[in-house]
């Protein structure tokens, strides 16, 4: 029972004092979790249930994954307005971190579609938070990585859904892929017309499909998780022996995805985002950090061309994001501009830390922000130039977080290599 699980957590929190949440093996956070060492752990592993769904909203526990939620809502002709592209992302993680998708130009981030939450505070009290109740806490929780409270349930907005998605026609779903010398702008809208394309276990990656054809109809579920298999193009990063030779001999080459070798179709089902992230978390500490970039930068549209010129990797994923004026203190879309674009930078870079630092600095200079799930090289001083420390400290005091949860800079800022 939900109430029994909550009571158990309250008891655990009071007994353990300063805690961190137990690390999940399928976490989509790429940076190391060294801060969790020698800390008291609290597990949310039982909070995986969908509590209720009606015609306007779903009430779910924080570890419900988006594929669990979407399967149920689609069967009822409904869907969340913003569905992150990996099946294993949890609704709690999407809110306490930051998540977006191709519908974010219309609906904003996932956090903007959450109507309310219940939260376990650092003093053991359970409170509600929404746009009208404890609203400062509600907005502050967005992107705060569990440093203000533990989310126990979320109420998520739902909208009507159709069976399929038509790619290549005007609609609220909008994204752009930039290849070596090619840029593909994809818009899409829901439809009940029959599908003529399906993502099968052995079919090619979605990004390869749209290089060849940009007008087709596919099942809505397949569309929402179109980048899950292969984690965008990260699986294709390991094409043939070239990547290994680059790594072993530190051979730099111009970024390109032109290759005569592809992951054989027989092995493609193995490259789900869950498997890839599980593998990532088993790699030696900092190996991924030194050789790969997985970063998302939110750039004002007016500065986008300047930023793109400085990125050495291809492909890139560009996704419009509606900015917010609600005080989501750590959200990358809490910016005073009219139009934002998320620039997803994913791939091999043998100078990854240096490139990330350079892009971080440029993003800041262009008055943008980045997602904090990845490696972050800001100094503490620079970090608090970007984010509102005074308001954050006030929230931590007001809602009893100081003695129960680590402060955000201890969780998201990593060591300098």
Q: From 276, 287, 289, select the one nearest 356 (Cα to Cα).
A: 289
Which pLDDT score, from 0 to 100, does residue 205 have?
Answer: 86
The structure tokens listed for 305 are 């061309």
Phi/psi at 198 (nearest 5 deg)? -135, 140
Q: Are 386 and 15 in contact (CB under 8 A)?
A: no
Torsion of CA 402, 361, 255, 223, to 10 degrees: 50
256 pLDDT exceeds 60?
no
Tell me the average pLDDT of the chain. 88
Percentage of the chain beyond pLDDT 90 is 69
Q: Which of the four pLDDT bands, split at 50, 70 and 90, describes residue 260?
A: very low
CA dihedral sign, ordered 21, 281, 284, 145: negative
The β-bridge partners of 159 are: 79
CA dihedral sign, ordered 167, 173, 174, 175: negative
Q: Which of the four pLDDT bands, split at 50, 70 and 90, describes residue 323?
A: very high
User: Domain 2-160+382-409: which topology?
Assistant: 3.30.465
Which pLDDT score, from 0 to 100, does residue 106 have?
Answer: 98
Which pLDDT score, from 0 to 100, does residue 288 have?
Answer: 81
Element (H, E) at 173: strand 173-178
Percentage of the chain beyond pLDDT 70 is 85
367 pLDDT exceeds 90?
yes
Rounded mean pLDDT of 161-173? 98
Q: Which of the four pLDDT bands, split at 50, 70 and 90, describes residue 127?
A: very high
Omega before residue 137 within 30° of 0, cis: no
Strand runs labelled E in 260-314: 292-300
Can you tell me the distance from the alpha carbon of 304 to that of 301, in angstroms, rounded to the nearest whole number?
A: 5
Element (H, E) at 341: strand 340-348
Rounded mean pLDDT of 288-300? 92
- Cα-only R_g, the chain: 21
The β-bridge partners of 368 are: none
Q: Are 95 and 114 in contact (CB under 8 A)?
A: yes
Can you tell me the distance from the alpha carbon of 154 to that of 91, in angstroms, rounded to the nearest whole number?
A: 8
Rounded mean pLDDT of 310-333? 96
CA dihedral sign, ordered 94, 99, 105, 111: positive
């Amino acid at each position: 029972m939900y109430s029994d699980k909550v009571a158990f957590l309250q008891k655990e929190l009071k007994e353990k004092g300063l805690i961190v949440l137990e690390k999940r093996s399928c976490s989509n956070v790429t940076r190391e979790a060294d801060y969790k060492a020698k800390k008291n752990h609290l597990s949310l592993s039982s909070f995986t249930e969908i509590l209720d769904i009606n015609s306007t909203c779903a009430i779910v526990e924080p570890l419900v994954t988006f594929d669990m939620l979407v399967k149920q809502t689609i069967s009822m002709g409904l869907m969340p307005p913003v569905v992150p592209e990996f099946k294993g992302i949890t609704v709690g993680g999407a809110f306490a971190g930051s998540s977006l998708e191709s519908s974010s130009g219309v609906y904003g981030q996932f956090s903007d579609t959450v109507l309310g939450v219940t939260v376990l505070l650092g003093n053991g009290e359970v409170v509600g938070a929404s746009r009208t109740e404890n609203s400062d806490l509600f907005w502050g929780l967005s992107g705060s990585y569990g440093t203000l409270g533990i989310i126990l349930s979320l109420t998520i907005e739902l909208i009507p859904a159709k069976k399929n998605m038509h790619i290549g026609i005007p609609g609220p779903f909008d994204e752009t892929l930039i290849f070596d010398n090619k840029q593909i702008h994809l818009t899409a809208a829901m439809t009940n017309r029959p599908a003529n394309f399906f993502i099968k276990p052995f079919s090619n990656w979605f990004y390869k499909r749209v290089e060849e054809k940009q007008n087709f109809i596919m099942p809505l579920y397949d569309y929402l998780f179109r980048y899950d298999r292969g984690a965008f193009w990260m699986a294709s990063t390991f094409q043939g022996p070239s990547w290994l030779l680059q790594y072993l001999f530190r051979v730099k080459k111009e970024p390109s995805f032109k290759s005569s070798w592809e992951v054989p179709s027989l092995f493609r089902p193995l490259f789900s985002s869950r498997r890839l992230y599980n593998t990532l978390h088993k790699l030696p500490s900092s190996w991924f950090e030194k050789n790969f970039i997985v970063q998302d930068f939110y750039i004002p549209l007016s500065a986008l061309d300047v930023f793109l010129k400085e990125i050495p990797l291809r492909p890139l994923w560009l996704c419009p994001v509606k900015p917010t004026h609600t005080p989501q203190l750590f959200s990358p879309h809490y910016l005073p501009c009219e139009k934002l674009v998320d620039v997803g930078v994913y791939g091999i870079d043998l100078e990854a830390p240096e490139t990330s630092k350079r892009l971080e600095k440029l993003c800041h200079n262009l008055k943008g922000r980045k997602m904090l799930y990845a490696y972050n090289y800001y100094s503490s001083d620079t970090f608090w130039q970007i984010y509102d420390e005074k308001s954050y400290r006030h929230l931590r005091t007001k809602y009893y977080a100081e003695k129960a949860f680590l402060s955000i800079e201890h969780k998201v800022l990593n060591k300098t290599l």
